[in-house]
Amino acid sequence: MNRPQYQLNAIVAKFGGHVVGEGVAFINQVATLEKAQAGQLTFLANNRYRAQLAATRATAIIVRSEDAELTSLPRIVCRDPYVYFAKVSAFLNPTKPIVSAGIHASAVIGEGAHIDPTAHIGPHVTLGADAKIGAGCVVMAGCSIGADTVLGADSILYPRVVVYHNCVLGQRLIVHSGVVIGADGFGIAPEAGRWLKIPQIGRVIIGDDVEIGANTTIDRGALDDTIIGNGVKLDNQIQIGHNVRIGEHTAIAACTGIAGSAIIGSHCRIGGCSGILGHIQIADHVEISSFTMIGKSIREAGTYTGIFPFSSAQTWRKNAAQVRHLAELAEQVKMLQQAILKKE
């Protein structure tokens, strides 16, 4: 495959920084320090990989100013090599599939649906009545989009995405296979020993520049809407309950579960397999470590961790047994403190 090539000077002109060494060197791809070959651009963002500099076969490297003299390779000097690498990688590897505009003959289009002439509708797509597909959208094979749903311009739905009725999806949205948007939230009420289903009449509203990983589910609101803010990044297999609100530019890692009506602030980072209970609020700029359970609201920015470190099974059982008696131990300590104070 013949890939387009770009001189380092041209890359710097587009993304900033400055070149040390041969600015006319040509680049056609990015790679790691260890795996890079001729024609590829690598980066040094972590000091632990400095030892790999001498052996790398890359044509050029992205470095911080303090690392610029560690190699004789042509290099781009910038403030944050990892961010710079991400921008160059996106430039060299555009994510939007190369498809032609038009509607596949096998697609089923509901009455009153509007599809922009520049959009691509793939095989076996179903589109509900009065749905709207924006300019430059790519809706790939087997997707189902419900009635009255709006898909913003330049969005990509990979194969077999399901979007229920009356959802509003923003521009430049990327949705990976298996995602379900707008299914009913878990709304049930007990009546005489049985469960009564509560109709879920809200919507899902998703902002611009959001990415949703494979098999993630976002439930529609029970009464109000479930809202995902601009720039939110969701990993694979996340569950988002009804009426949840997630603030702009928050990133959530895989297998996290968020219960109904939780409100998560902007610019948060939530580690994988975390659990967030319903009806709580999390402030802006909060970082939650992986496997942490959040059971009450977090009012201040910062990092929060609830992980119990692993150990051998025998040691863990002993420690777990002691945890069960913490309340007793605390009471005993309190009594001893009181006794000591009386003696004094």
What is the per-residue pLDDT for 124?
A: 98
Along the 344 residues of the chain, how does pLDDT read in single tens digits? 678 999 999 999 999 999 999 999 999 999 999 999 999 999 999 989 998 998 999 999 999 999 999 999 999 999 999 999 999 999 999 887 889 999 999 999 999 999 999 999 999 999 999 999 999 999 999 999 999 999 999 999 999 999 999 999 999 999 999 999 999 999 999 999 999 999 999 999 999 999 999 999 999 999 999 999 999 999 999 999 999 999 999 999 999 999 999 999 999 999 999 999 999 999 999 999 999 999 999 999 999 999 888 899 999 899 888 888 889 999 999 999 998 988 87
User: Which region holds residue 326: left if phi is over 0, alpha if psi is between -120 and 50, else beta?
Assistant: alpha
Q: What is the pLDDT of residues 142-179, one digit of tens each?
A: 999 999 999 999 999 999 999 999 999 999 999 999 99
In this structure, are residues 169 and 152 in contact, taking their beta carbons and an 8 Å threshold? yes
- The DSSP letter of residue 297 is -
Calculate the dihedral angle through the C-alpha atoms of 258, 186, 195, 200, rounding to the nearest 10 degrees.
Answer: 140
Rounded to whole angstroms, how far apart are CA atoms 26 and 37? 12
What is the per-residue pLDDT for 310?
A: 86
**Per annotation, catalytic residue among 120, 242, 285, 325:** 242
- The DSSP letter of residue 170 is -
- Whether 18 is catalytic: no
284: CB partners within 8 A, 6+ apart: 247, 265, 266, 267, 268, 301
What is the per-residue pLDDT for 291?
A: 96
Widest pairwise Cα distance in the chain: 91
Rounded to whole angstroms, how far apart are CA atoms 234 and 237? 9
Number of DSSP helices (H) and strands (E) in the chain, helices first: 4, 39
Rounded to whole angstroms, how far apart are CA atoms 232 and 258? 15
Rounded to whole angstroms, how far apart are CA atoms 339 and 5? 79
Q: Of all helices (H) and strands (E), which one includes residue 293?
A: strand 293-294
What is the per-residue pLDDT for 1?
A: 63
What is the per-residue pLDDT for 344?
A: 72
Rounded to whole angstroms, how far apart are CA atoms 317 and 297? 30
Whose structure tokens read 């959001």?
210
Rounded to whole angstroms, how far apart are CA atoms 175 and 192? 41
CA-closest candidate to residue 77, choices 88, 87, 62: 62
Rounded to whole angstroms, how far apart are CA atoms 230 and 250? 9
